[in-house]
Amino acid sequence: MTGRRTLPGFASRPADPERWVRTLETPARPNCFTARLTIDVTPALRGRLKVAAFQRGITVADMLRALLAREFPDNPGDTP
């Protein structure tokens, strides 16, 4: 037998984070990139989010995207 093959770890970081974030998956809008957002929630709130999303037949991520889009709509005059 030959030596073991080294596979990347389950939660290994990408070699090029900028390229990883800016993948060419179909963006929501042209020239719009997505990135992960990490928030701290209690285990109880996390459970309520999962149940609410399940009852609506969507994922937690989709539910939170819709919530954020509704609460923070695009304003053409706003610039970051």
What is the per-residue pLDDT across 60-69, written as a single tens digit (0 to 9) for each? Answer: 999 999 999 9
State both tokens at 48.
């309520």
CB 13 within 8 A of CB 21: no
Please identify which residue in the block is written with the tokens 């989010």: 49
**pTM (predicted TM-score):** 0.52
Strand ranges inside the chain, DSSP E: none
Phi, psi of 68 (to 5 degrees): -65, -40
Q: What's the pLDDT at 10?
A: 60
Please identify which residue in the block is written with the tokens 């996390």: 46
16 in helix, strand or coil? coil
State both tokens at 9.
């770890």
pLDDT tens digit sequence for 37-50: 889 999 999 999 99
